């Protein structure tokens, strides 16, 4: 059968054209780029040698003989097989733990519990872009994300962009539980996790029958589009189950498979076995192969394509004087669609807020909104200096919503030119900020502001040095992240007016009453546990 390798342009069109919810399957290459992230085969083999030297150094020659000039994946599997036979599963788990910890920054403290602070990990660009795509475009790209990787980097990337994640580690019989909760992207680790779990590596482990796996996949992936990248098609029971699902006319699975190679003959030579097994799916056009795809850039390119296909977003980006940033004005805000009831419920459950949420009359407005609005009006009228307002709180306390609501109100009624950073990977060019049109009042709005501390400092310094008073900063950050980035140690008052922080902690009675009132409109779906409490006053008190 003729095999056709489609182009990246066709992939981008396919990714945004699908009307199905989109899931992902990714592998090891996504976790490492240019030495950043979890090490590859060569370094893992060295870690295995270190493990052997530390326990039974005299056995090292036998280990080297077992590899017998094997390379790549063959050397990796043979090494893990030797390690399991001679030193046991604990030794394998220790090697994987050591490998994953290599992804932590050199300055990071020793990790004593869990995965630790996200900022202490090096997250490669491809992983970060996948996280951003899932978090920012969760209406369509909802997951789950299936991965053969052992590390926590994907979960961290989704969370870094405001998304919510769950984690499942595949059980021995192949059952995957509870992976379709609304508003939560579940990361499913097919071969185990780096801590509190055994990890699978050898041919015997990977091909061990998992009788419930196919049914689990049918439940998870039914009616979805699955984007596969950085995944070579392991010869394991998971790939076998996935192929069964692809070839099943009743499975309704649509697969977009990304190959790094850009030549059809090269793909056939390397992945011939996989292509032969999915031939029925290829015939039914349920398996489409795309070539020349870089896993470290493709998710960012999909995100850019999604955003450019939205006329309002595209116009906002073109109009902005800062590259990559968006100009938020009344026309843009008025062009946004209203929220649907199910979107309100997802928001109440913790989904990431957007400008659509910020402009909805059904999303409660905190009391601190008035304080921010008053301060912005004051600095705009006095024009005595630039200013900075920081909203600070723990995760999930509503700072992002308050930030967007305050910015939207400023854009709609106060005549501000609002510049918004749509991605926390974007930098702020200080020299461009200082060159903004002085005849206009600019409000630079930044969520996750801890990763822009240095850029913000330099922009403030340049504005002060130039005698400007037309640029103001409205920021939000987690309290721990802001302190970790030393944002609290910068001499802000030297360059601009630093308002006292808006600190979101305990709800006021008025805020709680507004929240309960909003939730009640959506019944038990909105109230959740509060639905069982009689009377509005008691609900407010409980909250």
pLDDT (0 to 100) of residue 490? 96
The 10s digit of each residue's pLDDT in 490-517 is 999 999 999 999 998 766 666 667 666 6
Among 37-46, 283-292, 326-335, 343-352, where is mean pLDDT lowest?
343-352
The 10 Å CB-count burial string (b at 16+, else e) for 98-128 is bbbbbbbeeeeeeeeeebbebbebbbbbbbb
CB 103 within 8 A of CB 87: no
Peptide bond into 188 cis (omega under 30): no
Half-sphere exposure of 5 (CA within 13 A, CB side): 17
356 CA to centre of own chain = 20
Helix pair angle (368-382, 399-413), 10° resolution: 40
Give pLDDT, residue 469. Answer: 96
Q: What was the pLDDT predicted at 113?
A: 86
Please tell me the predicted confidence (pLDDT) of residue 516: 65
Pairwise CA distance, residues 38 & 56, whole Å: 26
Q: What is the DSSP letter of 501?
A: P
Mean pLDDT of 59-68: 94
pLDDT higher than threshold 90 for residue 518:
no
Nearest to 158 by CA among 125, 133, 182, 124: 133
Any idea what DSSP says for residue 30? G
Give residues with Cβ within 8 angstroms of 84, minimum separation 6: 91, 92, 201, 202
Residue 277 has pLDDT above 70, yes or no: yes
Q: Please report which helix (H) or strand (E) contains residue 167, including its range.
A: strand 164-169
Is 219 exposed, middle or buried (CB count within 10 Å of its CB: 0-12, 13-18, 19+)? exposed
Predicted model pTM: 0.68
Q: Which of 160-174, 179-193, 286-300 has the highest mean pLDDT?
A: 286-300
- Any residues with CB less than 8 A from the CB of 463 and at least 6 apart, and which? 386, 433, 434, 471, 495, 496
Given pLDDT bands bounded at 50, 70 and 90, which one contains residue 60? very high
Query: What's the pLDDT tens digit per position in 227-263?
Result: 999 987 766 677 777 777 887 777 678 999 999 999 9
Q: What is the pLDDT of residue 308?
A: 72
Distance between terminal CA atoms of the chain?
63
Query: Over the Cα atoms of the chain, what is R_g?
Result: 26
**Averaged over 449-469, what is the pLDDT?**
95
Give pLDDT, residue 266. 94
Give the tens place of pLDDT for each residue, 64-84.
999 988 888 889 989 999 999
Residues 6+ away with beta carbon under 8 Å from 332: 312, 315, 316, 326, 355
pLDDT of residue 112: 84
Compute the mean pLDDT over every residue in the chain, rounded to the nearest whole number: 86
DSSP code for 485? T
Rounded-to-integer distance, Cα 87 and Cα 64, Å: 15
């Amino acid at each position: 059968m003729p095999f056709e390798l489609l182009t990246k342009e066709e992939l981008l069109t396919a990714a945004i054209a699908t009307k199905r919810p989109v899931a992902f399957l990714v592998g090891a290459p996504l976790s490492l780029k240019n030495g950043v992230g979890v090490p590859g085969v060569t370094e893992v083999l060295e870690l295995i040698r270190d493990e052997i030297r530390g326990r039974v150094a005299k056995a090292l020659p036998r280990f080297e003989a077992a590899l017998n000039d094997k390379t790549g994946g063959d050397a990796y599997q043979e090494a893990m097989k030797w390690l399991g036979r001679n030193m046991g599963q604990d030794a394998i788990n220790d090697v994987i733990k050591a490998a994953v910890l290599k992804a932590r920054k050199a300055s990071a403290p020793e990790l004593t519990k869990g995965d630790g602070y996200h900022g202490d990990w090096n997250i490669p660009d491809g992983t970060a872009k996948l996280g951003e795509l899932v978090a920012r475009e969760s209406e369509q790209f909802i997951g789950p994300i299936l991965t053969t990787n052992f590390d926590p980097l994907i979960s961290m990337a989704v969370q870094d962009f405001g998304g919510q994640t769950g984690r499942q580690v595949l059980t021995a019989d192949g059952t995957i539980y509870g992976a379709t909760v609304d508003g939560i992207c579940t990361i499913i680790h097919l071969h185990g996790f780096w801590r509190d779990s055994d990890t699978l590596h050898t041919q015997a482990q990977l091909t061990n029958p998992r009788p419930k796996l196919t049914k689990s996949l049918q439940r998870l992936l039914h009616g979805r589009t699955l984007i596969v990248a950085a995944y070579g098609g392991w010869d394991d029971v998971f790939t076998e189950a996935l192929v069964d699902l692809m070839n099943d006319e009743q499975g309704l699975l649509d697969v977009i498979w990304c190959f790094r190679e850009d030549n059809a003959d090269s793909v056939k030579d390397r992945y011939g076995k996989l292509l032969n097994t999915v031939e029925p799916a290829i015939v039914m056009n349920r398996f489409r192969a795309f070539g020349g795809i870089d896993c470290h850039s493709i998710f960012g390119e999909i995100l850019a394509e999604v955003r450019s296909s939205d006329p309002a977003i595209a116009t906002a980006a073109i109009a902005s004087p800062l590259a990559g940033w968006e100009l938020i004005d009344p026309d843009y805000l008025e062009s946004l669609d209203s929220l649907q009831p199910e979107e309100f419920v997802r928001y109440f459950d913790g989904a990431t807020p957007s400008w659509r949420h910020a402009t909805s009359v059904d999303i409660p407005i905190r009391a601190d909104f008035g304080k921010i609005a008053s301060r912005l009006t004051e600095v705009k009228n006095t024009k005595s200096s630039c200013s900075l307002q920081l909203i600070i709180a723990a995760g999930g306390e509503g700072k992002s919503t308050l930030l967007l609501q305050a910015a939207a109100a400023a854009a709609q009624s106060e005549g501000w030119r609002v510049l918004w950073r749509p991605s926390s990977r974007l930098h702020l060019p200080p020299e461009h900020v200082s060159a903004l049109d002085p005849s206009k009042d600019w409000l630079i709005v930044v969520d996750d502001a801890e990763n822009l501390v240095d850029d913000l400092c330099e922009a403030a310094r340049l504005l002060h040095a130039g005698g400007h008073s037309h640029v103001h900063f409205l920021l939000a950050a987690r309290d721990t992240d802001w302190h970790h980035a030393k944002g609290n140690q910068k001499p802000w008052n030297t360059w601009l007016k630093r308002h006292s922080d808006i600190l979101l902690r305990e709800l006021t009675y008025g805020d709680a009453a507004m929240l309960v009132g909003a939730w009640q409109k959506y019944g038990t779906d909105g109230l959740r546990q509060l639905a069982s409490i009689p009377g509005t006053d008691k609900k407010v008190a409980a909250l």
